[in-house]
Structure 1
Amino acid sequence: MSAAKPGELLTANQVAHSWAGDVFAEDLDSAAQVQLAFGLLDLLDEYWVTCEIRFANESGDGPLPADVLWDGYRQRLEADRDAEAVTYSLWVDWFEDHTTTATAFAEVLGNDIDRVVADHSEALLRRARRVLECSGPVPWRVKEPAYRTAASRPALHPALFRGLLTSFHDVYGDLEPAAALALLDRLDLPADTRHLAELRHVLAAGHKNHYRSPGAWNDALRSCS
């Protein structure tokens, strides 16, 4: 309900904008505040809640307890439910920011990629898939070791392909063409995978990013049609 207009129902997005920031004014220690914020995220499923978490981390009272913060992300990436708000938050807030991208990627996947690949847990694979798919903006030197390890697990190949594709197409995407092509050639993908041939074409030509070589993708589309 709206306090200003009793009887008017608020959308989840309106509730998030109205109340998510107040979580960090509660008389609780910072770890409990973070846990409460993630609980609100579970309830509302709104990206804005993750924004307030990020604002609190960067505020004068921050940073937030890293173990609680990143455990909150990992748990939701592993959960068998929609995680769009969480993956979008990683992509546009944590991964695109050069001051946080290395730490964020390490916390949600890089630090335990060996365990993820060796384990038979579907929850861990789910987290890996989601992180790989939105990892385009992460610097190549940061993500390449995890990419190479992920390539040893066929179940992660489609997500890894998506990561490579967005590494080329994203405005902030980053890859090294030769290394990315070698990795792409290791993936067991259907021959008719959409944009597989085009990605191989631009990488073989040495292109690093769609926006640095604006005509390269159209050339690949024509060549591979």
Structure 2
Amino acid sequence: MVMQAVEAARRWLVDQGVRQVHDGWVSDEKPDVLLTANQVAHSWAGDVFAEDLDVVDRLLLAFGLLDLLDDYWVTCEIRFANESAEGPLPADVLWGGYRRRLEAEGDAEAVTYSLWVDWFEDHTSSATAFAEVLGNDIDRVVAGRSEALLRRARRVLECSGPVRWTVKEPTYRTAMRLPVLHTALFRALRASFHDVYGDLEPAAALALLDRLELPANTRHLAELRHVLVAGHKNHYLSPGAWDDAVRSCS
């Protein structure tokens, strides 16, 4: 299915006069100018949603373009379309597309970055986005324990720092039941403290941190515990707290 989507996107680009060459991409308009995947995404990805296609087919084509180009900007165009006057996009197709790519082997940086800086940092969308990509089915993830589900859980947890604590804490507590997710949970707690828009409740986060099964030499474990014990919620709300923790724990 993924390969079919990629080939559909490739054919669509050819119809736009854009084709892939050994070192990148070229357009029929300027065949001597080599384009990067990012340049192709910025120039053509938005046009997918102007195609005379069913909205589902447009979205599937956009996901195929994301797989082909592996560029974050394609996810921006997907979100722009979701928020446009013609939106929202069909939720089952939108979030199903995100879940499949979070479960896939290989690099998923464009998708996780999209979740982190767009869907999760925006508190008008973070609760829905977090629920769709992990919160709604964390019980199934824990029960199923397949590599694909665990891969998705790790990726979402590690970029979930900006999600409101009240939204993500139940998912964190359920994920605690699987030691294989403890490192991802530690990274989630650390990001919840360090991200500009990170959110946590110090006492509750400390209680979770103290239950994690982590190597004793886990980097920043002592410092994170120190700032939580001191009651700090966020690095940017307490600018000197982390430096104090580093000095105290060295």
TM-score (norm 2): 0.89
The one-letter code matched in structure 2 to 1:167 is S
Distance in 1 (CA, whole Å) between partners of 2:187 and 2:140 is: 21
The one-letter code matched in structure 2 to 1:148 is R
Name the SS for the 1:213 alignment partner. coil
User: Which residue matches 2:56?
Assistant: 31
Counterpart mapping for 1:6-17 below 5 A: 6-17=31-42
Counterpart mapping for 1:36-185 below 5 A: 36-185=61-210
Name the SS for the 2:27 alignment partner. coil
Q: CA deviation at 1:18?
A: 1.0
Q: CA deviation at 1:186?
A: 0.8
The one-letter code matched in structure 1 to 2:119 is W
TM-score (norm 1): 0.99
How many residue pairs get aligned? The number is 225
Please provide the CA RMSD for this pair. Answer: 0.7
Distance in 2 (CA, whole Å) between partners of 1:35 and 1:53 is: 10
Partner deviation per Cα, 1:56-103 (whole Å, 9 max, x = no partner): 000011100000000000000000010000000000000000100000
Q: 5+ residue gaps in structure 2?
A: 1-25
The one-letter code matched in structure 1 to 2:185 is L
Partner deviation per Cα, 1:137-156 (whole Å, 9 max, x = no partner): 00000000000001110110
Q: CA deviation at 1:9?
A: 2.4
Q: CA deviation at 1:221?
A: 0.2
**1:205 aligns with one of 222, 230, 234:** 230
Name the SS for the 2:239 alignment partner. coil
Distance in 1 (CA, whole Å) between partners of 2:103 and 2:201 is: 29
Distance in 2 (CA, whole Å) between partners of 1:3 and 1:97 is: 39
Q: Which runs of 4+ in 1 moved over 3 A?
A: none
Distance in 1 (CA, whole Å) between partners of 2:248 and 2:144 is: 41
Q: CA deviation at 1:118?
A: 0.9
Partner deviation per Cα, 1:162-205 (whole Å, 9 max, x = no partner): 00000000000000000000000110000110000000000011
Q: Among all aligned residue pairs of Structure 1 and Structure 2, give the percentage whose two residues are the same amino acid.
A: 83
